[in-house]
Structure 1
Amino acid sequence: MPSYTRTPYLVVTREAAKRKDVYGSVDDHVVRQAQLLRGADDSDTVFVAMHPIGAPGYLPAFSQLARFGAHVIACGTRYTTGDAGLQMENALLDLAACVRDAKERLGYRKVVLVGWSGGGSLLAGYQAEAEKKTITRTAAGEESALADAEFLSADAVVLMAAHRSRHRLLTDFLDPSILDEDRPDERDPELDIYDAGNPNRPPYDDAFVRRYRAAQAARNQRITDRAVARLAGMQAAGRADDEWCFVVHGTMADLRWVDPTIDPNDRRPGWSYLGDPRIANNASSGLARFCTTRGWLSQWSLAHAQVDAVDAATRITVPALVIVNSADDACPPQHMSDYFEALATPDRTFHEIVGANHYFSGGGEQRAHLDEAATTVLGWAAQRGLHAGS
């Protein structure tokens, strides 16, 4: 397998803010941890990857692009330590800083945004804002540096094994059997898909699916209402910069995990990207388990979140590639179908990798699927003059 180099570096800017969203920030500096993965070829094109949380430099798709000769910048947001207080509006600013640094300091002329999983909505949202700005304040309605920020447009956008947004994904995951956030152990047995006594069994009929999805949306709204009320109360008390932190229980109860006929693909029944969904539903690793009022409104609230790939697609006019893994055990297939159909660009390509799971995990054939993902991206980019060495 060809080799590549990995160079860590920081993207640092300054933002004046009274409140710190993350632990360890120094003064008004905002620090993003980035890595430049350089393939063997010279290139004036760089593939920029970012995920709302974590270290994308070690995700398999991005390393594989570098092994196949590409130059890749895998940059974290300011929220690498966790997403409890994450505001997607700030993540957009982080991506803007990374893209500008790639062009102005590192000297790349062309940029291809590559969004994998949760990075898909972030990168699509960024490109849409670069082409036509619509977001100027945070989801909580507070002032944001976005109002004056300039986003440099990318030359193309690639979404791989992605979902449309954090708030849409979570709502499909929420356990609607929890009717009171303060008493999460008291559950409606007819809405608890993990209760052996539930008379509703898979495959579920359409009436139950509608009832379940409506109850999930209603729970999302109840949590949103509490967050809005808390913020309003703190502001009324003269504590506008305070935060309220809370726990959301039951966030891994998508009907898709137990009924493979819902939004079907080749995923393994009774399983998810976090393992057994019955365990993940209440584990500390679940989506949105730990939240703040502002973080909830920006990431998870159906009514207030502003970053969504399908909504962004109508403003994206640069070439776009969508790669779907047919055995994805995290992202619903419908999300990327809706995004693809909504794209404004006439230069759009859809590619399915048959048998690939979300993380390309498990060895064997998954390694070949990962190779297919990398060669598909680079072949597509080369056709548009956006490949290493072009």
Structure 2
Amino acid sequence: MTDNKKKFTTSPILIAFKEENQSRDTYGGGVANIVLQGMHMRRPDATNDTILVFMHPTATLDTLPLPRELARIGVPVLCCGSRYPHNDSALIMEKVLVDLGHYIKYARERLGYKNVVLAGWSGGASLSVYYQAQAENPTVIATPSGEPVDLSGLQPADAIMQMAAHSARARIMTESMDASIRNELNPDDKDPKFDIYDEKNGPRAPYEAGFVEEYRNEQVARNRRITTWAFETLERLKKNGGPDQERCFVTHGTMADPRWLDPSIDPNERIAGQCYLGVPAVVNNGPIGLARFATLRSWLSQWSIDESKANTALQGPGVTVPAIVIANAADDCCPPSHTDTIFQSLGGPKEKHIISGANHYYIGQRDQLNFTIETIITWLKNTRMLKGIPD
């Protein structure tokens, strides 16, 4: 006989609000109307002590193993979709902070939870750090492209989790940029010195330290060239057509990190020749590559290595609540150097754990998933976020 108490329910959450005087960057619903869709997952016998709030800038996480397993064992979970579901081409990180603020308010005032823990997984990690830093001490009053944003009313969370995380979307993407591309309008115009996917004449792994340093410098230089172009183009468009003018564009070659071919660079237990999105050489110019489609404003907010404020190295010192950092040892998305940056940056009490053998998603890894769950539960109890879970 099945114990229904151990089944969790998944209830849709719908949050709607208005933002006046905003240019529309999502499809449908009118200029001022913002609609958010989330999923509340909990067992009927779970307490209202604490809820874990998962939010990724563009993904909805309710189908992944970790949040579902947490809900199944009796820890309530809220998986939050931003106003940019499954499409980050026009995403503004500062607007996603506003969205997350509405979910946290909803969790406390409508769902009745006492404690809210930000569960930052993967790309949601730097988002949650950015949110918490601004909720504790708001300093950002505009997006990197200069549009005003009001972050003064964000409710801070009570604790924060960083799991299988990178320290910034702009950093992980920059470290993935194809340094061989010389012409943004023609991805076939390449510097052979840096073409790591040229199997006949290109550099071969393992790479010398001097080559990696030069490659990294060229990646940053390429990111900065795009950023300069974005600012110049925005300024020209504003002069010619008004303040709300935009430009959409493609960034070619954004999965060419030497780490994926040479596991001795930033080493962990990952397998050489693959990444979390598949075969790196295929993803490099495929439709799902990082930052493949963007607007000028979105590039500056999300992907610019110098201008994006969603950066844990920048925001982390402002986070004073308890934090746990969990790294997956076989992660082929978020490497150890990012884990180190996150842990060193956070300003409050913190602890770090490494899950041996775990890949980015815990797909097919029940043992690693269970160990991660146990680690999270122990931390929640030690920080008094959670008194216990149902039997």
TM tier, shorter chain? over 0.9
Match 1:181 to one of 184, 190, 197: 184
Name 2:35's counterpart in structure 1. 31
Question: TM-score, with normalisation over the residues of structure 1?
Answer: 0.95
How much does 1:81 deviate? Answer: 4.0
Equivalent runs, 1:351-390 vs 2, <5 Å: 351-361=353-363, 363=364, 366-387=365-386, 389=388
Determine if the alignment matches structure 1 residue 103 to structure 2 residue 108.
yes
How much does 1:156 deviate? Answer: 0.5
Provide the secondary structure at the position in 2 that maps to 1:83: coil
Q: Aligned partner of 1:231: which letter?
A: L
Q: Aligned partner of 1:350: which letter?
A: K
How many correspondences in the alignment? 384
Match 1:47 to one of 52, 59, 62: 52
Q: Contact 1:176–1:212 (CA<8 Å) still a contact in 2?
A: yes
How much does 1:27 deviate? Answer: 4.3
Name 1:124's counterpart in structure 2. 129
Q: Deviations over 1:79-137 (max 9, x none)?
A: 00400000000011111111011111211121111010000000011111111222110
Distance 1:375 1:37, change over 3 A: same
Q: Aligned partner of 2:361: which letter?
A: Y
Q: Contact 2:82–2:96 (CA<8 Å) still a contact in 1?
A: yes
How much does 1:325 deviate? Answer: 0.2
Determine if the alignment matches structure 1 residue 156 to structure 2 residue 155.
no
Provide the secondary structure at the position in 2 that maps to 1:179: strand
Match 1:21 to one of 10, 14, 25: 25
What CA RMSD, in Å, does the superposition of the two structures yield over aligned residues?
1.4
Q: Please give the alpha-carbon distance, in whole angstroms, between the structure 1 residues aligned to 2:233 and 2:108.
A: 42
Q: Deviations over 1:167-226 (max 9, x none)?
A: 001000000110110111111111010001335321111110111001100110111111
Q: Please give the alpha-carbon distance, in whole angstroms, between the structure 2 residues aligned to 1:180 and 1:116.
A: 34
Q: Please give the alpha-carbon distance, in whole angstroms, between the structure 2 residues aligned to 1:84 and 1:140.
A: 15
Provide the secondary structure at the position in 1 that maps to 2:95: helix
Match 2:335 to one of 316, 332, 337: 332
Name 2:346's counterpart in structure 1. 343
Question: TM-score, with normalisation over the residues of structure 2?
Answer: 0.95
How much does 1:270 deviate? Answer: 0.5
Equivalent runs, 1:265-280 vs 2, <5 Å: 265-280=268-283
Q: Please give the alpha-carbon distance, in whole angstroms, between the structure 2 residues aligned to 1:319 and 1:282.
A: 40
Please identify, of 104-113 and 171-180, the stretch whose mean Cα deviation from structure 2 is larger.
104-113
Q: Please give the alpha-carbon distance, in whole angstroms, between the structure 2 residues aligned to 1:213 and 1:313.
A: 24
Match 1:144 to one of 140, 143, 149: 149
Q: Please give the alpha-carbon distance, in whole angstroms, between the structure 1 residues aligned to 2:41 and 2:111.
A: 13
Q: Please give the alpha-carbon distance, in whole angstroms, between the structure 1 residues aligned to 2:189 and 2:335.
A: 29
Q: Please give the alpha-carbon distance, in whole angstroms, between the structure 2 residues aligned to 1:3 and 1:337.
A: 37
**What fraction of aligned residue pairs are identical, expressed as a percent?**
44
Determine if the alignment matches structure 1 residue 217 to structure 2 residue 220.
yes
Match 2:258 to one of 255, 279, 291: 255
Q: Aligned partner of 1:356: which letter?
A: A
Please identify, of 172-181 and 25-34, the stretch whose mean Cα deviation from structure 2 is larger.
25-34
Name 1:206's counterpart in structure 2. 209
Q: Contact 1:50–1:95 (CA<8 Å) still a contact in 2?
A: yes
Q: Contact 1:41–1:388 (CA<8 Å) still a contact in 2?
A: no
Equivalent runs, 1:159-170 vs 2, <5 Å: 159-170=162-173
